Structure 1
Amino acid sequence: MPKGPTKRRPQTRARLLEAAMDAFAEAGFGATSIDEICRRAGYTTGAYYSNFSSKDELFFALFDEHAAQALDRLVSKVAGLADGNLTPEEIAGILADLSPEERRWYLVSTEFTLYAMRNPEAAGLLADHDARARAELVRILTAYLTRMGRESAVDLDLLARLIIAIREGALLQSLVEPDALPTGTLEAAFLPTLLRSLFHA
């Protein structure tokens, strides 16, 4: 039978991740110390290092968790539509739909990306995690096209990169000018036309 600390480890890890997310969003990745994360979570640094070897590793745990949740939402929304024959407008609406946590995640991930741009090792790891999330998006797009009896006129990995770039760039502008550009505005206006030009029967 597992000992107490082993059974508690998932809870410890979850509390550390939650505390780190709060701290990174409030003060920034660079300004947040491991001691501060532990203080917020109510654990010692020993508990921290039994779960994560560094602050970078903790960020990537947050990254994978966020990516999995975002992709799960995408799959659920597609599956929840009565008609599986999605229109470009419906696809654009699904891609533009953001969770309440997206603003916090954008703050955290953008700062880490800037840090990674100055740190080749972190950049390589970020690229690996990006690639895994993108591969899952490609899998979802492939399944959709197969169901629709269509194919893409472009490489789907490049298309996934473009969709992510549009989504993140549009979100940045909406976060800076929320009244002038509500979230989802650019995606709803331009993604349908883009998708029509890239998917063909």
Structure 2
Amino acid sequence: MGRLTRSESQAQTRAHLVSTARDLFLADGYAGTSLEKVADSAGYSKGAVYSNFKNKKELCLEVLGLIHATKGAEIAAALGHGDTAEDRLGAFESWAENTLGDVGWTMLEFELIVLSRHDPELREALTATLGAARDIAVNLLTSFTESLGVTLPMPAEDAASSILGLGVGLGIQRAIDPTISARVVTDSLRVLLATSSPM
């Protein structure tokens, strides 16, 4: 195998930094993770971090984007698993029970939301990141309902926002009290499907 080009090496370094930062942010939170710690854990100099990210906020926002994409892929796999709609909803429900309220992920998002109160730049960036997560939810819901041959009783954007909002709120509650069931998210999706019409 030949040597990596400069751009390939830079991309590899950036990906490794993001992966390392994800693990640290999830374990220690935003405040508890420094760029020095990311550099040390990844085996790079602090300069390597700053050559890829202008600050910790930018790195953390990229981490959140990676987490959202990963969770979206997991949901897509769940909603595609099984022969019947109920099989697929059951797989999604298992995902929700195992994932919603994950302390690292939930608290990291919540920590950034709190910080954005007095940081307009962070609030704007978070708005974009959450908008991308909403787009993922819209695409997942649209693909799922199309595969079932049904049309939702409301625009997919509104339905996705509703389910996403419910999931986020429930995730915060479950991060504190994991005995709360995540079934309500799947039941809400069942209600939407029950009131849908054939295409």
For the aligned pair, the TM-score class normalised by the smaller chain equals 0.7 to 0.9
Pick from 185, 192, 195 the counterpart of residue 195 of structure 1. 192
Structure 1 residues 112-135: Cα deviation after superposition (integer angstroms, max 9, x where no partner):
121123211111111112212212
> Counterpart of 1:67?
68
After superposition, residues 1-201 of structure 1 pair within 5 angstroms as 5-83=6-84, 85-86=85-86, 89-90=89-90, 93=93, 96-99=96-99, 102-178=102-178, 180-182=179-181, 184-188=182-186, 190-192=187-189, 194-196=191-193, 199-201=196-198
TM-score by length of 1: 0.80
Structure 1 position 44, deviation (Å): 0.9
Cα distance in 1 for partners of 2:51, 2:195 equals 47
1:3–1:175 distance in 2 versus 1, CA, 3 Å: closer
Is the Cα–Cα contact under 8 Å of residues 134 and 160 in structure 2 kept in the other structure? yes
SS at match of 2:8: helix
Change (3 A) 1:89 1:15: closer
SS at match of 2:80: helix
Moved more, 137-146 or 17-26: 17-26
Segments of 5+ residues of structure 2 without an aligned counterpart are none
Post-superposition Cα deviations, 1:69-121, rounded to whole Å, max 9, x if no partner, equal: 111112222223223x4579547626625459943211212111211232111
Q: Note if contact 2:82-2:88 (Cα within 8 Å) is conserved in structure 1.
A: no
Q: Could you tell me which amino acid in structure 2 is paired with residue 33 of structure 1?
A: S
- RMSD (Å), alpha carbons: 3.0
Name the CA shift for 1:192/1:136 in 2 (closer, same or farther; >3 Å). Answer: closer
Per mean C-alpha deviation after superposition, the further-off stretch among 168-177 and 41-50 is 168-177
Unaligned residue ranges in structure 1 (runs of 5+) = none
Whichever residue aligns with residue 199 of structure 1, its letter is S
1:148 & 1:27 partners in 2: Cα distance? 41
Letter in 2 for 1:7: E
Tell me the SS of whatever aligns to 1:80. Answer: coil
Q: Distance in 2 between matches of 1:104 and 1:115?
A: 16
Aligned residues: 197
Runs of 4+ in 1 over 6 A off after TM superposition: none
TM-score (norm 2): 0.80
Flag the 1:9–1:101 CA change in 2: closer, same or farther, 3 A. farther
Say if 1:100 and 1:47 are closer, same or farther in 2 by CA, change over 3 A.
farther
* Identical amino acids, percent of aligned pairs: 21
Report deviation, 1:21: 2.5
For residues 144-176 of structure 1, give each alpha carbon's deviation from its aligned partner in whole angstroms, at most 9, with x where no partner exists. Answer: 223333212223222212211211222222221
Q: 9-18 or 120-129, which moves further after superposition?
A: 9-18
